[in-house]
Amino acid sequence: MLSRSDKINSEEFIFYIDLVKDFIKRKNLVKAIRSFIKEKNKFNSLTSWGVVLFQKDENPICEYDLKETETVIKTITDNWDTREIEKSYLENGLYEILAYIFRKSREARKNYRVIIISDTPSKLADDYYNALYDLLIKAKKFSAFIDIIRVGKEQFYEDDVKLKVISSETFGGMFYCQEEKLLQNILGSLVQNKNEFKVLKSAETEKVLKEDKLFYERLAVDLISLSEEDDEICIICEQELCPICEAHSDEVHKCFNCNAKYHSCCSAKYSIAKNIGFRHLFRCIQCETLLKLDEEYVNMIYKEDLGENLPEIDTSKSL
């Protein structure tokens, strides 16, 4: 049976520049980010970069999966003078970033490291934050981590609690930079990798909302039928006839993205062992696309193997 490491090697750092005031000068921001990228590249050559920077009239510049340092720097410098300087759109920017993470997480696994550099509390209504919080709970299941650097000379800000919740819910940190020269040091402390964590730890430690399950099911894609020219060798058992059920009726289906083939039995057992938190949702062994199996069928295989009934999802509490 094919096996692969569960370790995530690739990372994408997304710099969300939410700087309205002039406490941090452009040249010092660029210097700090350039130094951070240089240091990070020493440890992980698979790292890519993103930049989100709001322009005037609530128009964000969003560049993702950049490979070159100079492209990151150019994105910041080219849009610095036209950036928003009246108010913070912190929640809006995080909506945009999380939407990107959800889209990309359908295709492959990756650690997403969001670093917010902000100097002004957002004045948006609480409804924006409440909706954002719901997305944050979902995002951390896709290895998304958010660190926030609040820059400025104030000791306390009206949104301190809100920002600490955002960072803590995504296993990040909250940092205060009261001197411009300290920004580079604070960024440097974030070079270290975040540890990957399981999507769901256990039924006892985390409850799952029914709407969360629907969210992940919509992200996942069904296996598709083979084409006439496709062979019927399962990527898991590496056989044409399923060794589990030994039934010729066990049709082979494939991943739409990479054409990896799966017997129904093999895929069900693999998904039970290597799912993302729901037994019928798993990542393709070959390309890591998020795939979906028939839930009733997977539950049947699970009960046959373990001889037990599956627990009902508890919808009375949030995560």
* Distance separating alpha carbons of residues 96 and 132, to the nearest angstrom: 11
- What would the two tokens of residue 47 be? 């790292």
pLDDT 10s digits, 171-220: 888 999 999 999 999 999 898 766 543 344 434 334 455 667 888 888 88
Give me the domains of the chain, ranges plus CATH numbers. 11-188 (3.40.50.410), 210-306 (3.30.40)
Q: What is the mean pLDDT of residues 259-263?
A: 94
- Per DSSP, the three-state class of 274 is coil
| DSSP secondary structure string for all residues of 202-252 | -TTT----HHHHHHHHHHSEE-EEPPTT-----TTT--SS-TTT--TTS-E
* Distance separating alpha carbons of residues 44 and 192, to the nearest angstrom: 10
Q: Lowest mean pLDDT: which of 112-121, 132-141, 209-218, 222-231?
A: 209-218
Q: What is the mean pLDDT of residues 289-318?
A: 71
* Amino acid occupying residue 133: Y
* Distance separating alpha carbons of residues 287 and 257, to the nearest angstrom: 7
Inform me whether the pLDDT recorded for 287 exceeds 50: yes
CA-to-CA separations, 152 to 49, 86, 87, in angstroms, rounded = 25, 16, 15
CA-to-CA separations, 161 to 129, 168, 174, in angstroms, rounded = 12, 10, 10
According to the model, what pLDDT value does residue 45 have?
Answer: 78
Percent of the chain with pLDDT over 90: 52
Inform me whether the pLDDT recorded for 80 exceeds 70: yes
DSSP 161: H
Q: What is the mean pLDDT of residues 154-158?
A: 86
Report the interhelical angle of 160-169 vs 126-139 (nearest 10°). 20
Q: What is the largest CA-CA distance in the chain?
A: 71
Tell me the torsion sign for CA atoms 43, 45, 47, 53: positive
Q: Which of 207, 221, 213 is nearest to 257 (CA)?
A: 221
* Amino acid occupying residue 9: N
Q: Are 251 and 224 in contact (CB under 8 A)?
A: no
Q: What is the mean pLDDT of residues 11-40?
A: 95
Averaged pLDDT score across all residues of the chain: 85
According to the model, what pLDDT value does residue 210 have?
Answer: 60
Q: Are 287 and 260 in contact (CB under 8 A)?
A: yes
Looking from the CA of 38 toward its CB, the CA atoms found within 13 Å total 9
Query: pTM of the full predicted structure?
Result: 0.71
Beta bridge partners of 222: 292
Q: Are 104 and 5 in contact (CB under 8 A)?
A: no
Cα Rg for the chain, rounded, in angstroms? Answer: 22
CB atoms within 10 A of CB 67: 9
DSSP 174: E
Q: Which of 237, 296, 281 is nearest to 263 (CA)?
A: 237
